[in-house]
């Protein structure tokens, strides 16, 4: 604990000029605003079941992580990552490991329910997916904590597939800091979808490292901004070797005075010939005061790659509204269905029938509740 | 006696200050099929859009009533709920919205309590899909997103069958269809025409081989310049529009 604390305090505090902190200053995200301070935090409650609520297979473990496991699984996030370092210091010696054994093939998705409560809450979650395994996972982040820090690090073993969605449904008064570092080995596949609708201040720093050939990564994010919600997603993908693929699709629908920030950083190493990478950021601006900022960045050192990025921000398309109105839906109904569709469209390449149905239901509940 | 559904008198319409319709009059009764033919740019699609209430089109003169009610008093969705239906030449894609959900919402909005239960809707939907040769996988796809031209037109006709409109406006519904799709779509139109008034806007005569019009109107430069029976469409197919232009000059 002391070591993590010392390490955090030894880091230079990030400046607003840095890419990662340009739109969400660390001082404003820090739970007390005094950046040198590491306050006491309550550990979040974590419950692992199958999606239908039944007990998980005995081969799957959720237990405190050992020191060696922490060292092995935390290689993706750099030592100088301030947010991750802060979360490590906050969590101290407490961390959980979700372990999926080699060749495990789940018959139904797992559900990981995270409840954050108290003034300041934290969770350090590691996961280790063995080789040739296939697992689907639904992660729900909820609760009324004033501030919640989630650090997630892990490894997806050779030829394994993890398909997961993360639903940020924290109370609107909460602040969320989410840091992730995930490594994909040879022929591993990660499809990760996020529905971000909770926590009025939310910063996610998501980093993925493709270290094996044939690795396949899909990052799909839907953000719904209302009121004064501020949602900032930074997605950083590093292709360390060649012949692998990554895709980012982020859709943000911003209403009222809300703001969405999407920054993407794609690094293709010189040795990563044959990499195929794409990033698309789309924003739907639903009010004059809503804001959306997008900065995709490419750093390509290899010469035989496919790398592309695109960004677009637009208000509601009046032709879509006219079409829906001509089918009997009034202006509000037309707007609602367009917003729902726009957010769901972020998940069009998220290939999991069971999880996509759940995502759709959760989104509908969220949107319908907001109408009440 | 059949009810008069649509009454257009001396209609003039502008878009961005440019006059497109220049004094158009037309009456359609329930059960009648009217076809409007004309060259590109003659104002056919403008008429379709202005009837449905597209905000870009401004009525500068004349009047339009639907079942005796001035259309200007009705918003777009109110026109749909009152029984008007426009089959779009280029239907909009609504990414992320599944066809099945969209159809259910639309039917509930337009038919209200007459929409029936979910089970009744499913039965009716299955019948309509079968009649149009539409596969069930259609329902989980996103509205018009990645659809071929033919699929888009089938979805328009599927909506028409489910919404039970009283006045159907078909804007170039035949464009982009192969002959088999054209026949299928025409059967759907003929089904709707049993109870509704139809305004078929078309560029070609071939749709009228399968949908028999009671009246054919020729539109030139924003006006209906000549009207007749089904034989007028055949005449246009044979001779083009020049002889009509010469006639009205």
By CA distance, what is B90's nearest residue in A? A323
B109 close to A (CB below 8 A): yes
Is A326's CB within 8 Å of B86's CB? Answer: yes
Is B97's CB within 8 Å of A337's CB? Answer: yes
pTM score > 0.80 for this model?
yes
How many Å lie between the alpha carbon of B158 and the closest alpha carbon of chain A? Answer: 12
Residue holding tokens 């059960």?
Answer: B31
pLDDT digits (tens, 9 = 90+) for B27-42: 999 999 999 999 999 9
pLDDT digits (tens, 9 = 90+) for B204-237: 888 888 999 999 999 999 999 999 999 999 999 8
Q: Which residues in chain B have Cβ-Cβ distances shorter than 8 Å to A317?
A: 92
Q: Which residues in chain B have Cβ-Cβ distances shorter than 8 Å to A330?
A: 75, 77, 109
Contact status, residue B191 vs residue B131, Cβ threshold 8 Å: yes
B50: in domain:
no
Is B97's CB within 8 Å of A320's CB? Answer: no
Name, in order, each residue with C-beta under 8 angstroms of A61's C-beta and a sequence gap of 6 or more. Answer: A97, A98, A99
Mean pLDDT of chain A: 94
The domain that holds B26 is classified in CATH as: 3.40.50.300
Of the candidates B3, B19, B6, B5, the one whose C-alpha atom is nearest the C-alpha of residue B64 is: B6
DSSP A98-164: EEE-TT-B-SS-EEEEEEE-SSEEEEEEEEEE-TT-EEEEEEEEEE--SEEEEEEEEEE-TT-EEEE
Of the candidates A159, A208, A148, the one whose C-alpha atom is nearest the C-alpha of residue A188 is: A159
Instruction: Select the residue from B50, B77, B87 to test the A interface by mutation, using most A Cβ atoms within 10 A.
Output: B77
By CA distance, what is B112's nearest residue in A? A328
B38: in domain:
yes
Domain count for chain B, please give it: 1
Per-residue pLDDT of chain A (372 residues; tens, 9 = 90+): 678 899 999 999 888 888 788 899 999 999 999 999 999 999 999 999 999 999 999 999 999 999 889 888 887 788 889 999 999 999 998 999 999 999 999 999 999 999 999 999 999 999 999 999 999 999 999 999 999 999 999 999 999 999 999 999 999 999 999 999 999 999 999 999 999 999 999 999 999 999 999 999 999 999 999 999 999 999 999 999 999 999 999 999 999 999 999 999 999 999 999 999 999 999 999 999 999 999 989 999 999 999 999 999 999 999 999 999 999 999 999 999 999 999 999 999 999 999 999 999 999 888 876 543
Q: Which domain holds residue B241?
A: 4-43+55-248
Q: Which ipTM score applies to this complex? A: 0.96
pLDDT digits (tens, 9 = 90+) for B13-26: 999 999 999 999 99
Is B94's CB within 8 Å of A330's CB? Answer: no
Instruction: Select the residue from A250, A328, A329 to test the B interface by mutation, using most B Cβ atoms within 10 A.
Output: A328
pLDDT digits (tens, 9 = 90+) for A9-36: 999 988 888 878 889 999 999 999 999 9
B48: in domain:
no
By CA distance, what is A348's nearest residue in B? B96
Residues of chain A in Cβ contact (below 8 Å) with chain B: 317-320, 322-331, 333-334, 337-338, 340-346, 348
B75, B79, B92: residue with CB nearest A319: B92
């Amino acid at each position: 604990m002391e070591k993590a604390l010392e390490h955090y305090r030894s880091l230079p505090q990030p400046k607003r000029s840095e890419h990662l902190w340009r739109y969400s200053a660390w001082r404003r995200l820090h739970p007390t605003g005094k950046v040198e301070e590491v306050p006491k935090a309550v550990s979040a409650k974590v419950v692992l079941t199958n999606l239908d609520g039944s007990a998980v297979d005995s081969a799957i473990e959720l237990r405190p992580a050992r020191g060696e496991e922490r060292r092995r699984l935390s290689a993706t996030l750099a030592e100088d990552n301030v947010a991750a370092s802060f979360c490590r210091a906050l969590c101290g010696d407490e961390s959980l490991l979700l372990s999926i054994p080699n060749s495990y093939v789940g018959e139904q998705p797992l559900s990981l329910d995270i409840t954050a409560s108290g003034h300041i809450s934290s969770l350090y979650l590691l996961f280790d997916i063995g080789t040739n395994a296939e697992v689907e996972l639904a992660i729900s982040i909820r609760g009324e904590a004033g501030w919640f820090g989630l650090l997630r690090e892990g490894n997806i073993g050779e030829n394994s597939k993890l398909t997961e969605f993360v639903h940020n449904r924290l109370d609107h008064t909460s602040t969320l800091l989410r840091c992730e570092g995930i490594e994909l080995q040879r022929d591993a596949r990660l499809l990760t979808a996020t529905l971000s609708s909770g926590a009025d201040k939310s910063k996610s720093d998501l980093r993925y490292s493709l270290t094996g050939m044939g690795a396949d990564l899909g990052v799909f994010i839907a953000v719904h901004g209302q009121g004064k919600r501020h949602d900032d997603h930074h997605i950083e993908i590093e292709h360390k070797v060649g012949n692998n693929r990554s895709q980012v699709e982020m859709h943000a629908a911003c209403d009222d005075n809300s703001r969405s920030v999407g920054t993407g950083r794609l690094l293709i190493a010189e040795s990563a010939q044959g990499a195929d990478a794409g990033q698309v950021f789309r924003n739907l601006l639903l009010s004059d005061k809503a804001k959306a900022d997008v900065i995709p960045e490419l750093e390509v050192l290899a010469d035989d790659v496919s790398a592309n990025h695109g960004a677009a921000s637009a208000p509601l398309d009046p032709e879509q509204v006219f079409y829906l109105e001509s089918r009997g839906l009034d202006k509000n109904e037309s707007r609602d269905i367009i917003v729902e569709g726009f957010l769901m469209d972020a998940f069009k390449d998220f290939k999991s029938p069971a999880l996509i149905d759940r995502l759709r239901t959760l989104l509908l509940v969220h949107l319908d509740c907001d109408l009440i | 006696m059949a009810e008069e559904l649509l009454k257009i008198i001396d209609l003039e319409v502008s878009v961005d200050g440019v006059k497109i319709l220049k004094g158009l009059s037309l009456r359609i009764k329930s059960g009648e099929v009217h076809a409007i033919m004309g060259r590109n740019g003659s104002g056919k699609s403008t008429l379709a859009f202005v009837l449905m209430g597209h905000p870009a089109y401004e009525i500068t003169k004349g009047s339009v009533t639907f079942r005796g009610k001035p259309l200007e008093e009705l918003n777009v969705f109110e026109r749909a709920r009152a029984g008007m239906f426009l089959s779009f030449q280029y239907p909009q894609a609504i990414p992320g919205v599944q066809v099945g959900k969209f159809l259910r919402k639309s039917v509930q909005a337009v038919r209200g309590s007459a929409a029936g239960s979910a089970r009744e809707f499913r039965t009716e939907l299955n019948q309509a899909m079968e009649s149009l040769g539409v596969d069930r996988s259609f329902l989980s796809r996103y509205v018009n997103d990645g659809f071929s031209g033919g699929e888009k037109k089938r979805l328009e006709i599927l909506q028409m069958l489910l919404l039970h409109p009283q006045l159907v406006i078909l804007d170039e519904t035949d464009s982009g269809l192969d002959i088999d799709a054209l026949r299928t779509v025409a059967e759907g139109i003929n089904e709707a025409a049993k109870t509704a008034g139809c305004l078929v806007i078309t560029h070609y005569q071939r749709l009228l081989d399968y949908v028999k019009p009671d009246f054919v109107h020729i539109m030139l430069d924003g006006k209906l310049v000549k009207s007749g029976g089904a034989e007028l469409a055949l005449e246009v197919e044979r001779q083009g529009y020049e002889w009509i232009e010469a006639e009205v000059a």
